[in-house]
Amino acid sequence: MCAIMGYLGKELKLEKFREYFEKTVSRGPDMSRIRELDGAILGFHRLAIMGLTDEGMQPFELHGSYAVCNGEIYGFRPIKAELSKEYDFASDSDCEIILPMYEKYGVGMFEKLDAEFACIIYDGAKKSFVAARDPIGIRPLFYGYTDDGGIEFASEAKNLVGLCKRVIPFPPGHYYADGKFVRYRDVTEVSEYVSGDLDTICKSIHDKLVAGVEKRLDADAPLGFLLSGGLDSSLVCAISQKLLKKPIRTFAIGMSEDAIDLKYAREAADFIGSDHSEIIITKDDVISSLEEVIAALGTYDITTIRASMGMYLICREIHRTTDVRVLMTGEISDELFGYKYTDFAPSAEEFRREAVKRVRELYMYDVLRADRCISVNSMEARVPFGDLDFASYVMSIDPELKMNRYGKGKYLLRRAFIGDYLPEDLLMREKAAFSDAVGHSMVDYLKEYANSLYSDEDFARLSEKYDFARPFTKESLLYREIFEKYYPGQAEMVADFWMPNKSWEGCDVDDPSARVLSNYGDSGK
């Protein structure tokens, strides 16, 4: 996954920089390097995925400028071939094109990238930083200002807590240059809706998702696939299996007593012919790992933490027992096509607004979860549903067509893959939240544990401490207390608790789980 960090200023000493940068060495355990520059420091922890030789180590240097990048740049080879007419490349790393592109195009380079990335460029001529993040925020980046008037960027908030009074998420789809943040792309912006023939629309959905998966299969390190047996992960796995024409390695997780996903994941694995592994977890596994999960995540959000428990534990086991370095995941589909609660959207316009909100906030919730759970276990996440061409296209589909008028949520995605990708029962399986489908007992155990720690009086007293995103259940109080232990005073890194849209009829609930919705139905079976 890699970790990057940069400081531009006069006061921070190298050893202090090194101390804080070491907090994310798990993101890049293969090799580390820190470069002192004129008025700046750059650091890089490497997880070697592309260009595995030493020549692929960062920071890269070109004509007195330097760059560190945590990312995957898809389709970099044609860009590199064009740039090779003017520049000599030393490695097979995709990120080596960053500095030649910057020299050639300036900040205009970022809108040309098809990438999941976060980067920091030290402009040697200006002796200043340029930084940027991909349009969805799949790769993490944070910033803050130091007491000496300097600015720092880092892959994770934990690198900056203690160095900066306030740690701020770097806004997705923006670059920073000359002291300003500028948006270079917004995937939610639509100039004209795609409407009309469903067969044509579904073919485009099919073709663009297949292309998005294919891009992400390009790796010089071993690939693995998270498989819940839900629609999204099953499609990623099925497409990958077809493209690679050899058994892929799939992994599923569930509670020992009531796992829902395991049986469906096994059915999907058997159908596509993958090399499948199951990880079984218990109540003790969940409770004992809760604090380390929240410390890794840097959030207090209820649904993010619940969903992270299973994901963190499966990734930990994959890291411990296999040589997998890249994990393909199924995140971002729900934000694009709809959740269970969006069945209650009162109009197409409301559905659209909710999709825009969810996509713009992805970096604080599902994308954050996937990144931290995977990276803390020294692997890289790749997210095909976050492919920029695919996501932009789906956002452009007339929301009237994406609403659940078909008796089945995410119908267009399901229809797009009717055929031999998956058995019909899996293709049409009802949406189940990952935290629920790992086993309803998991969330129940977390709630019980929180309730055992606080009396009603304790809850009322302790919750009063928090003006921003005040805890509203004992479970949310527990998460907030652990969060504040590791990220004191940084609650505004997360906009609010992820919850269904309470203004819609049927969605005024006090828990983020789809279990509390009236349309949950077969999701829990």
Residues with Cβ within 8 Å of residue 106, at least 6 apart in sequence: none
Measured CA to CA in angstroms, residue 321 lies from 82, 233, 279, 315, 329 at distances of 41, 22, 11, 10, 19
159 CB-near residues (< 8 Å, 6+ apart): 3, 5, 20, 21, 23, 24, 142, 152
- Written as one letter, the residue type at 328 is M
Q: At 29, phi and psi to the nearest 5?
A: -80, -5
Question: What is the Cα–Cα distance from 333 to 231, expressed in whole angstroms?
Answer: 9
For residue 61, what are its two tokens? 């240097």
Helix axis angle for 76-83 and 98-105, nearest 10°, is: 60
Phi, psi (deg, nearest 5) at residue 489: 70, 15
- The neighbour count for residue 170, using CB atoms within 10 Å, is 21
Q: What is the mean pLDDT of each run of 10 residues along the chain (525 residues)?
A: 94 96 96 96 92 87 97 92 93 93 97 96 98 98 95 98 97 97 97 94 98 93 94 97 96 92 94 97 97 98 96 97 96 96 96 97 96 96 96 98 94 96 92 77 96 97 96 98 98 96 94 87 66
Q: What is the CATH number of domain 3-183?
A: 3.60.20.10
Residue 499: CB atoms within 10 Å: 17
- Three-state SS string over 433-480 comes to CHHHHCCHHHHHHHHHHHHHHCCHHHHHHHHCCCCCCCCCCHHHHHHH
Catalytic residues: 2
H/E stretch holding 174 reads: strand 174-177
Q: In what order do the strands lie in the sheet with 40-46?
A: 31-37, 40-46, 3-8, 151-154, 142-145, 168-169
Give the pLDDT score at 362. 97
Which residues on adjacent β-strands are paired with residue 32?
45
Residue with tokens 């619940």: 306
Q: Under the phi-then-psi rule, with left for phi > 0, alpha for psi from -120 to 50, and beta for the rest, what region is 202?
A: alpha
**R_g (Cα) of the chain, nearest Å:** 22
514 touches 339 (CB < 8 A): yes
Burial class (CB in 10 A: 0-12, 13-18, 19+), 227: buried
Tokens 């109540």 correspond to 283
Contacting residues for 179 by C-beta, under 8 A, at least 6 apart = none
Return the closest-CA partner of residue 122 out of 61, 69, 67: 67
What is the rounded distance in angstroms from the CA atom of residue 14 to the CA atom of residue 42?
Answer: 10
Continuous H helices in 217-301 = 231-244, 261-272, 283-297
pLDDT at res. 434: 67
Domain ranges of the chain: 3-183, 198-440+494-524
Note whether 50 and 72 are within 8 A (CB). yes
What residues contact 294, with CB distance under 8 A and at least 6 apart?
300, 305, 479, 482, 483, 486
Neighbours of 460 (CB within 10 A): 11
The token duo for 513 is: 């789980």
Q: How many CA atoms lie within 13 A of 22 on its CB side?
A: 6
Neighbours of 217 (CB within 10 A): 16
Distance of alpha carbon 422 from alpha carbon 165, whole angstroms: 50
Q: Which single residue is written with the structure tokens 């980046």?
A: 141
Q: Which two tokens stand for residue 9?
A: 């200023």
- What letter would DSSP give residue 217? T
What is the fold of 198-440+494-524? Rossmann fold (3.40.50)
Taking phi over 0 as left and psi of -120 to 50 as alpha, with beta for the rest, 325 belongs to alpha
Q: What is the pLDDT of residue 55?
A: 86
Tokens of 354: 């909710």
DSSP assignment letter at 2 = -
Q: Looking up tokens 């995977």, which residue turns up?
A: 374
CA pair distance 183, 189, nearest whole angstrom: 12
Beta bridge mates, 182: 175
pTM comes to 0.96
CA distances from 148 to 16, 17, 488 (A): 14, 14, 21
Contact 483, 494 (CB under 8 A): no
Report the pLDDT value the prediction gives residue 382, as an integer from 0 to 100.
94
Return the percent helix, strand and coil in the chain, to nearest 5. 45, 20, 35
